Structure 1
Amino acid sequence: MKFDVNGAPVDADPRAGQSLRTLLRENGHTEVKKGCDAGDCGACSVLLDGDPVHSCIIPAARVAGRAITTAAGLAPAGELHPVQEALVGSFGFQCGFCTPGMSVTASTLCESDLDDLDRRMKGNLCRCTGYRPIREAITASVLGPVRTTGTSAAVEPNTSGVGRSVSPEAARRVVQGLEPYTFDEPITGALTLRVLSSPHAHARITSIDTSAAEAVAGVVAVFTHLDVPDKRYSTGRHEHREDDPDDTRMLDNVVRHIGQRVVAVVAETASAAEEACRLVQVDYEVLPAVFDPEAARLPGAPLLHPERTPDERVDEAHRNVILSVHENSGGDVAAAFAASAVTVEGSWQTQRVSHAQLETHGAMGYIDDDGRLVIRSSTQVPFLTRDELCHIFDLDKDCVRVYAPRVGGGFGGKQEIFTEDLVTLAVLRTGRPVSYEFSRTDQFQRAALRHPMRVKVTLGATSDGILTAMKVDVLSDTGAYGNHSRGVLFHSLAESTTLYRVPAKQLDAEVVYTNNVPSGAFRGYGLGQVILGVESAMDMLAQRLDIDPFALRRLNAVREGDPLHPDDDKYEEDLIWGSYGLDQCLDLAEDALRRGNGVDAPAGWQVGEGMAVAMIATLAPRGHISHTTATLRPDGTYMLGVGTAEFGNGTTTVHRQIAASVLEASGDRVSLWSSDTDAVTHDTGAFASAGITVAGKALYAACLTLKERMLQIAATLTDTSVDSASLRADGILTPVRLVAFTEVVAAAPAEHLTADGLTADGSEFGDLRSIAFNVHAVRVAVQPETGIVRVLQSIQSADAGVVLNPAQCRGQVEGGAAQGIGSALYEEVMIDEGQVTNPVFRTYRVPQFADVPDTEVYFATTNDELGPFGAKSMSESPYNPVAPAIGNAIARAIGARPFEQPFSRDRVWRLARGKSALTS
């Protein structure tokens, strides 16, 4: 069969039933991405005879004689299509996995389409940006540049240094789909791994017959629980592996949730592996299951991990409880409530949310020429993944390399090991390269979701609104395994309850096992769930006392210098006041809400305003470690070594900016080697927003040391005083002068300059944590007859310290707000008796263009003493206050408060009709 791709002829023989997406990738066009393989996300979009289509649902056999254009072929070689240029200029991507498909669809639009842009682009999903920069890029490509909303500076692609909106170095490759992700660099001869999963929520395997599977042509190996190391571990990764329960075995003889892997098949082709999975015969003894977390901890409930012990971080296995927290500060809480002029209370239920990263989990592995195991993975934590693989398989760290190319979205979900362990097993046993990639359904049934929590909050106050007592009771459902269960529970209770000055406080919380799909790390790490309860209760208090909600927060919020934790609280003892910006954030958000934005509600809709506050520590507790290097190469350029992964968090851009500022270099002379265990000694990973506050600070130290050594060596060899000014021209250390300088340095003793250049190391152990604040405010309209909620105005003010890249930081805030809107109004992983009933994007509502309004973003002016150049983290925190702000606005619009998230149209309709929003 012959057809054209980007103007070049292709001769291919598609397999029966093959899709165009896989055919294109097999012919080298990896710019066509896989996000869903169901026609729902648009990551695979191409032009077919000029029309945009989702290639994953186009039969390959139908393209004979036709012309196909991918994102890499929208413009002549070396050039970009106008919409791609605009996406680069407007910072219209973060992880970038959706961007090639987005640019393909957008390339077909003309001026008449702009009034219908939401419909024209609804088939292309973006999980990262919130759509505003994409919308502006499309408009700019059609009409020319437009004025952007918010307060961010314009992108400056040709400048460098901190404080500027520097465009990512990879931007032009990303928009064309030419920046490689995990599966975009195929390994010749790689085998494919597929998994047979459990149909039961709880069962013991009594026998497995793999003979028919092993007889399938092309099958190389079949693995069961009898073939894996008899070692338990956690899929969740932290700097200290003891933070998580050791309750997981690679393949187990007991299954504890529907979708748990039972058998792994390795074959020459995916079709052979899938056929073999179908032929495996498994006999189960079905066991009693428990799906309700309240029931799971009661006497007589089925036990999921009865053999686990406190030494394995499962504190009360006899009642399915991994961890209990009971803390009292300030004395007799009951007496404090009794003495309060007013009390409010409520119980809120949060739902399971999928990270919905467009790139699914996956890994490829092989043995390199030196005999080392190499794992290429879509991971946020390459070093922690390497270390745990070594633990599981008794390997030396020097014998294992793990690296991540650009990662297609994370949000905490890739702080786990879901594929790397099986790939390691298969590579070590077969000696062949092996590839294992999740399907979208796997992401819902086998990867972790956000912890659903029941959050009860009671607040007491004086008649003028001063808080007198707080009681918070949390029940967290970790599902079948305890990855991140303990850390999420601790963190959920932390800054969510210490935000306010309360003299008497009682915290009670437990996290329990159920036979549901596992929960794990998710943006905000538990804070979003508990903040929903606390901030909703604060709004109830404001209504009862007829106090403005902004004023109530100003009255009770912690102020700079206040204690950030009780004296006996070991979890929070490392918190300090690096800076304080809550007062500014409250003012900025309130002023913007009072100004309005000129968007009116439709006739007959009811309007309400709401706000919420969130506080977060700037990195994870118990230390976050980063080692970096900075090298002056003989050609006068610099190479930076950093372990942090890039998944849309923007660290690669900011790290180059930090180096450019310290070394006074232009950005084009700074290269970066990151996300690779070969690059540096260690990096805890890209989570807890530590890419800037820890890795960035370590890199700052490395660059500063390198600069000092350069000047010292030059001064020693020339017997003259040398400073950076003497090497500058037009404000930077120019390549010409640096090449001459390196020749001078080369005359130094050998210990100063190697063949690779002059190198300095930088390390940071992030053992102190500062505090950041976010305030979200909204104005919503509710249609009582249908329960539809429309966000008319969305505002977030952020305490980000010194903003190192304004456009990029604004994008993080907008993306967090968009994800918050999604989980507030639309997103919910539905589970019935342990079975996920909506495991595809068609039925799981990731917000589309039409669902997300532009969020106005305002930054407080602070300078943090802990962060590099005074910066704070701002990747996780924007998500946390969004849902309570929207819930508060809905309550004020219709006069009835929602207690179950998401605030979906059916629940809001029942509330508006005077019925209970809680489901039975």
Structure 2
Amino acid sequence: MDVDGAPVEAAPRPGQSLRTLLREHGATSVKKGCDAGDCGACAVLLDGEPVHSCLVPAARADGRAVTTAAGLAPDGGLHPVQEAIASGFGFQCGFCTPGMSVTASCLGPDDLPDLDRRLKGSLCRCTGYRPIREAIRESVLGPVRETGAGTPAGAGAPAGVGRSVVPEPARRVVQGREPYTFDETPDGALVLRVLGSPHPHARIRSIDSAAARAVPGVVAVYTHEDAPARRYSTGRHEHRTDDPDDTRMLDDVVRHVGQRVAAVVAETAAAAEQALSRLRVDYELLPAVFDPEEARTAGAPPIHPDRTPDDRVADAARNVVAGMHTGYGGDVDAALASSAVTVSGTWSTGRSIHAQLETHGAVGWLDDEGRLVIRSSTQVPFLTRDELCVLFDLPRERVRVYAPRVGGGFGGKQEIFTEDLVAFAVLRTGRPVAYEFSRADEFWRSAMRHPMRVSVSLGADETGRLTALKLDVLSDTGAYGNHAIGVLFHGCAESVTLYRSPVVRVDAEAVYTNNVPSGAFRGYGLGQVTLGIESALDLLAQRLELDPFELRRLNAVREGDPIRTADGHVEDDLVWGSYGLDQCLDLAQGALARDGEEAPDGWLVGEGMAAAMIATLAPRGHIAHATATLRPDGTVDLATGTAEFGNGTTTVQRQIAASVLGLGLDRIRLSHADTDAVAHDTGAFASAGITVAGKALHAACVALRERIVREAATRSGCAASDCAYTPDGVRTPTGVVALEDLAGPEGIVATGEEHGERRSLAFNVHAVRVAVDPQTGVVRILRNVHAADAGFVMNPAQCRGQIEGGVAQGLGGALYEEVLVEEGVVLNPAFRTYRVPQSADIPDVEIHFADTSDDLGPFGAKSMSESPYNPVAPAIGNAIARALGSRPYRQPFTRERVWRLAQGL
């Protein structure tokens, strides 16, 4: 076959797909997203026609021409659609982008009216599709973007904060040349595969591995008898004691279908999978419980009976991992009884999965010094390293963890799902080992969004001012408690704190079940609890015949108010760095009032809105270190610990340096997400890439300027106060000393750090107009508006993209996405049956920014990665309720549920 214009001699294995054959011969621009023909990440041209290479038998490529994203332009440059995607911010994590660009390269003017259908087989989890659609139209018709192209990352002029700077790797990303975890695997790497449990709860009596070990190419088989006895949590936080120690690498008790039973390490994937099929496991079945209410009821089978509060498990006998039972202001039931108006309801949310296009995975090896090295698709390389050191009793200096570009995360990669087994196998075999999740593995043994039941009662006086707020939350953490505590407390915190009520009562518990585990997911519990509170507020507005925007204005916290926790005490670390909720309410309300798409005849129309508040970083500290080094050639090397997975932090961090140092981006290089690069970084979660790591880098760059000036003063024999820094050099009384002349062979190095000990608050308001077809239950978004309090917006195009992506995930969670689980078995473990929104499902969202500047953020910026998700589903639910005159209480609001609601069923 011919690949990108070069002949390739290959002998496909029986049954091998074209995707794996291409990657084995160096075509790593062809990505693996699903291996089922559902996502389009592996798209190539076969004799000029776009195909999903995972579905094409490799033997069919014999004598044919294959074109990958790397070869779309014959001169090695960019195809017009790639150029448009790169310059138009048509990617975030970028994992889907090579395949997307291949598919889009075949589209012409006649395809544009039906563009959404043409993109049906290409999924993007990050962008919300708008910039992709615009890029395709531009490549066909010419410029159509509202704001024009961004500033190229390599531009010589300073491109500091406040400008839409294109990410530096944009051209490599669209061609598939930017490496992800499995694009650079060491020679001779062994393949690790895992046998999953077929039972939701069982004790392993024995495992007969003799036949598996006899398979040619099998190097090792590991079971619970080999694994470390130490228990830990897959969830990662700055303080490892934030999560329960309830997980063992390989356990003799399995607690959910799909849990690891044994691991096989082999020379090839085929040998590993054959060995898995030959393992014989004798199970003693144990009673299982799947309903969280039943799980905490007396007599329910305990799932982790040996865990104690010392393990951070509150009440193992009741399967309760964590609970909060608190309030302030007096007897909430009495306050409700004496209120002029009361409303109440119970809302429930289903499971949804991150569905990032790059699955979890890690590659490990021993370096020349015998150090353990792990390259991983992780949001938390430093926390992963630290836990591996605990598990294997290794000093930090003997372990290195780093992340290349990560193909999406959304909180799901704030976990250890592969790195522990890879490290164990490397240390045992002494050879490189790779473990990559399949798409089905993601459903069986990663983590989902916590399903919650949220009951809310509100009391108000005749004017609509709240008199009482009662909240009862039940969270299903599944078989393990990773993130159970943090999600529960965070979900109940800002959602309650957003509103001023004299009497508050919160009762909430996170409960073990024998379902697949839950974990960290964009919004971190706020989306679920916000659904209940914002829906109850809409009920109250209807009861009082008040405008829902006005009801929020009456009751929301205002700048200067004490920021109280659920027990009434004032948060010391939360401060009013800025306040933009009032602007967000005005902006969203004004935008919603304008005309939008017309509803089809016979459809019912309703409007809905919801608000949300979020702290700008995690509580109890989020630490980041950074360095800035002036090199002898006058360039500056930056180092941060933040992982880049579409969050855009690496671009903004370079802009921060450009602003402080006055240099063009072509003189600034950045390394990131490597435990060898800086002292520590808590990780890329809690939207901390700007508010913490960005502040650390800002401090390092300011310190570097000062050191440069001091060095120039020393060389010129004058006081530093007599010198002035400029991008060209330092002005001294005797002349200008060029930057190139100041740095010795080692350069001038400065460091910065931020501990995230003070947090601000950010706000988001979402508003929609929907049309509902009562005959089919279809919900169509006619107008889609989002107002965000992001402080000073450091890269407008990237920030807009983060909001669009969050809103798109919110729409998916509101209308389509649900992992169906029955008796612990996932019924739809594939993209074909789990509805990741396609381009046709996601309308453009009109975004407005509040005009604020935050006292705590760098240059006045706030975080804005996860918060846009939180108000979307309640806004849509409120709009459906007003269209139908009947309220939905179960999310997602699927066609079937909405149809039943419309029929009064």
Q: Considering the TM-score relative to the shorter chain, is it more than 0.5?
A: yes
- Matched with 1:229 is 228
Classify 1:153/1:495 alpha carbon distance in 2 versus 1 (closer, same or farther; 3 Å).
farther
Aligned pairs for 1:613-624 (under 5 A) are 613-624=611-622
Distance in 2 of aligned mates of 1:72 and 1:701: 39
Classify 1:674/1:570 alpha carbon distance in 2 versus 1 (closer, same or farther; 3 Å).
farther
1:651 matched to 2:641? The reply is no
TM superposition shift of 1:153: 7.4
Distance in 2 of aligned mates of 1:891 and 1:848: 25
SS at match of 2:132: helix
Could you tell me which amino acid in structure 1 is paired with residue 742 of structure 2? V
TM superposition shift of 1:716: 2.2
TM superposition shift of 1:573: 3.6
What number of residue pairs does the alignment pair up?
Answer: 899
Deviates more, 1:430-439 or 1:326-335: 326-335
TM superposition shift of 1:732: 9.5
Classify 1:71/1:242 alpha carbon distance in 2 versus 1 (closer, same or farther; 3 Å).
same
- Matched with 1:576 is 575
- Matched with 1:695 is 693
1:898 matched to 2:888? The reply is yes
Match among 72, 94, 97 for residue 92 of structure 2: 94
Distance in 1 of aligned mates of 2:563 and 2:9: 66
TM superposition shift of 1:856: 0.6
Distance in 1 of aligned mates of 2:90 and 2:736: 36
- Matched with 2:795 is 805
TM superposition shift of 1:888: 0.3
TM-score, normalised by the number of residues in structure 2: 0.98
- Matched with 1:290 is 289
TM superposition shift of 1:739: 11
1:145 matched to 2:160? The reply is no
Could you tell me which amino acid in structure 1 is paired with residue 227 of structure 2? V
SS at match of 2:39: coil
- Any conservation in 2 of the 1:492–1:530 contact (CA below 8 Å)? yes
1:793 matched to 2:783? The reply is yes
TM superposition shift of 1:90: 1.0
- Any conservation in 2 of the 1:717–1:744 contact (CA below 8 Å)? no
Match among 728, 745, 752 for residue 742 of structure 2: 745
Classify 1:571/1:326 alpha carbon distance in 2 versus 1 (closer, same or farther; 3 Å).
farther
Distance in 2 of aligned mates of 1:153 and 1:501: 43
- Matched with 1:111 is 109
- Any conservation in 2 of the 1:572–1:621 contact (CA below 8 Å)? no
TM superposition shift of 1:336: 1.0
Deviation per residue, 1:114-137 (Å, 9 max, x gap): 000011011000000000000000
- Matched with 1:877 is 867
SS at match of 1:112: helix
SS at match of 2:539: helix
- Any conservation in 1 of the 2:70–2:76 contact (CA below 8 Å)? no
Deviation per residue, 1:128-153 (Å, 9 max, x gap): 000000000000000001143xxx67
- Any conservation in 1 of the 2:770–2:780 contact (CA below 8 Å)? yes
- Matched with 1:918 is none
- Matched with 1:589 is 588
SS at match of 1:57: coil
Distance in 1 of aligned mates of 2:513 and 2:431: 38
TM superposition shift of 1:905: 0.3
Could you tell me which amino acid in structure 2 is paired with residue 402 of structure 1? V
Distance in 2 of aligned mates of 1:626 and 1:726: 29
Deviation per residue, 1:699-743 (Å, 9 max, x gap): 0000000001101211221135778996647x9999xx9996345
Distance in 2 of aligned mates of 1:248 and 1:573: 34
- Matched with 2:756 is 766
Deviates more, 1:154-163 or 1:406-415: 154-163
- Any conservation in 2 of the 1:724–1:733 contact (CA below 8 Å)? no
- Matched with 1:378 is 377
- Any conservation in 2 of the 1:714–1:741 contact (CA below 8 Å)? no
- Matched with 1:240 is 239
Classify 1:606/1:167 alpha carbon distance in 2 versus 1 (closer, same or farther; 3 Å).
same
TM superposition shift of 1:77: 3.6
1:520 matched to 2:515? The reply is no
Distance in 2 of aligned mates of 1:74 and 1:572: 55
Classify 1:232/1:578 alpha carbon distance in 2 versus 1 (closer, same or farther; 3 Å).
same
Could you tell me which amino acid in structure 2 is paired with residue 155 of structure 1? G
TM superposition shift of 1:482: 0.3
Deviation per residue, 1:258-287 (Å, 9 max, x gap): 000100000000000000001011000001
Aligned pairs for 1:433-582 (under 5 A) are 433-566=432-565, 572-582=571-581
Match among 141, 151, 157 for residue 156 of structure 1: 151
Structure 1: stretches of 5+ with no match in the other structure: 747-752, 916-920
Distance in 2 of aligned mates of 1:856 and 1:261: 45
- Any conservation in 2 of the 1:714–1:744 contact (CA below 8 Å)? no
1:353 matched to 2:348? The reply is no
Classify 1:908/1:199 alpha carbon distance in 2 versus 1 (closer, same or farther; 3 Å).
same
Distance in 1 of aligned mates of 2:241 and 2:122: 41
SS at match of 1:334: helix
Distance in 1 of aligned mates of 2:324 and 2:710: 54
Match among 810, 822, 836 for residue 832 of structure 1: 822
- Matched with 2:10 is 12
- Matched with 1:408 is 407
TM superposition shift of 1:334: 1.5
TM-score, normalised by the number of residues in structure 1: 0.96
- Matched with 1:602 is 600
Distance in 1 of aligned mates of 2:481 and 2:122: 34
TM superposition shift of 1:648: 0.3
- Matched with 2:257 is 258
- Matched with 1:750 is none
SS at match of 2:593: helix
TM superposition shift of 1:596: 2.6
Distance in 1 of aligned mates of 2:537 and 2:740: 65
TM superposition shift of 1:464: 1.2
Identity %: 72
TM superposition shift of 1:373: 0.3
Distance in 2 of aligned mates of 1:263 and 1:213: 11
Match among 835, 840, 848 for residue 845 of structure 1: 835
Match among 862, 865, 868 for residue 855 of structure 2: 865
TM superposition shift of 1:24: 0.3
SS at match of 1:522: coil
Could you tell me which amino acid in structure 2 is paired with residue 170 of structure 1? P
- Matched with 1:76 is 74
Give 4+ residue runs of structure 1 displaced > 2 Å after superposition. Answer: 566-573, 719-729, 731-734, 737-746
TM superposition shift of 1:155: 1.8
TM superposition shift of 1:500: 0.5
- Any conservation in 2 of the 1:634–1:739 contact (CA below 8 Å)? no
Root mean square deviation of aligned Cα: 1.6
- Any conservation in 2 of the 1:153–1:807 contact (CA below 8 Å)? no
Match among 43, 57, 68 for residue 59 of structure 1: 57
Classify 1:114/1:571 alpha carbon distance in 2 versus 1 (closer, same or farther; 3 Å).
farther
Classify 1:845/1:738 alpha carbon distance in 2 versus 1 (closer, same or farther; 3 Å).
farther
- Any conservation in 2 of the 1:610–1:777 contact (CA below 8 Å)? yes
